[in-house]
Amino acid sequence: MKIKTISAERIKEAVKEGCLAIQYKYSPKMQETMTKYMDQEKSVLAKNILKILLENSDTASENRLPMCQDTGMVVVRMNIGQNVQIVGGSLREAVNQGVREAYDVGYLRKSIVGDPVFDRKNTKDNTPAILYTEIVDGDEIEIEVAAKGFGSENMSALKMCKPSEGLAGVRQFVLDTVRNAGPNACPPLIVGVGVGGTMDYAAVLAKKALFREIGDRHPDERYANLEKELLEEINAMGIGPQGLGGSTTALDVFIEDFPTHIASMPVVVNINCHMARHTKVVLS
């Protein structure tokens, strides 16, 4: 078996480029999805809001202004091939340096406070990022970068459901969380759901779900159907864009699952806004 080397510098550059690639316009898929929902909207106000949001993406890219002033906390997910050795620096520092440089040159808002309780002093470079690493087979590094806004993050929720609550319990908790989020999370939303695992791992799964592309369905048909049904039920609530009424409350629902304990059924709902800022790059 041959060990492959990948430099920390390349990782830094990939994170930096990722941070800058997601801030200034909708992804082509999001552009298409928002347009589709705008065309379907019956409410005049809702239609107008979706139109303004689509125009905002154009204004952002033309002027190189971020689509939203909350340019987020950076979340990086890395799948590191077990035959890879990272050389020339620390992985964590490479990630943070990529964030630091992107938020500086990109005129992005620095929104991170160093201590969450006592000082709440801004770190002034948007670091640290949240970093998840997984060791996988292979000799590549897959890097996913997201910028998570906190209007939506604040409306996310966890419930340690009883196994007896079953499918109905999962469904109810997702719908309740979206209803409770209302306008605060800037609908239309992307809804990430993590079921199973432990309390913390369900949250990791819910976040992972938000890295999926619109329209990507769960490989298990039962979950895939649940995703589609939840999307319909959420859009039947009438919350609408910005909570001002309409049929466009969510653009997609993604569920990630994991085995869990006989005594529990953890459910976490992680909410994202319509910008759904995330991207992926593979270093090989």
Partner 1 sequence: MIKIQTPLDQNLINELQAGDLVFISGTLYTARDAAHKRMIDDLNTTGSLPFDITNQILYYVGPSPTPPGQTFGSAGPTTAGRMDAYTPTLLDLGLKMIIAKGYRSDAVKQSLLKNQAVYLVAIGGAGAMLGKCVKNSEVVAYEDLGPEAIYKLEVEDFPAIVCWDTQGNDAYIQ
Contacts with partner 1 by CB under 8 A lie at 45, 48-49, 52-53, 55-57, 59-60, 63-71, 107-111, 122, 124, 151, 154, 182-184, 186, 238-240, 242-245, 273-275
Contact 218, 209 (CB under 8 A): no
Residue with token string 């653009």 = 251
What is the smallest separation between the CB atom of 66 and partner 1, expressed in angstroms?
Answer: 5
Nearer to partner 1, 125 or 257 (CB): 125
What is the smallest separation between the CB atom of 145 and partner 1, expressed in angstroms?
Answer: 18
Query: Which residue(s) pair with 113 in the sheet?
Result: 122
Nearer to partner 1, 107 or 132 (CB): 107
Cα–Cα dist 14/143, whole Å: 8
What is the smallest separation between the CB atom of 120 and partner 1, expressed in angstroms?
Answer: 8
What is the smallest separation between the CB atom of 186 and partner 1, expressed in angstroms?
Answer: 3
Nearer to partner 1, 210 or 239 (CB): 239
Nearer to partner 1, 14 or 185 (CB): 185
Torsion, Cα 241 21 33 66, to 10 degrees, reads 30
116 three-state secondary structure: coil
102 three-state secondary structure: helix
How many other C-beta atoms can be found within 10 angstroms of the C-beta atom of residue 206?
A: 26
Nearer to partner 1, 12 or 274 (CB): 274
Cα–Cα dist 6/229, whole Å: 43
83 three-state secondary structure: coil
At 279, the amino acid letter reads: T
Nearer to partner 1, 129 or 143 (CB): 129
What is the smallest separation between the CB atom of 59 and partner 1, expressed in angstroms?
Answer: 5
What is the smallest separation between the CB atom of 244 and partner 1, expressed in angstroms?
Answer: 6
Residue 241 to residues 46, 88, 247: CA-CA distances in angstroms? 6, 47, 8
138 three-state secondary structure: coil
What is the smallest separation between the CB atom of 217 and partner 1, expressed in angstroms?
Answer: 26
Radius of gyration of the chain (CA): 19
Nearer to partner 1, 129 or 239 (CB): 239
What is the smallest separation between the CB atom of 150 and partner 1, expressed in angstroms?
Answer: 9
Cα–Cα dist 64/206, whole Å: 31
Nearer to partner 1, 105 or 168 (CB): 105
Q: What is the 3-state secondary structure (H, E, C) of 47-91?
A: HHHHHHHHHHHHHHHHHCCCCCCCCCEEEEEEEEECCEEEECCCH
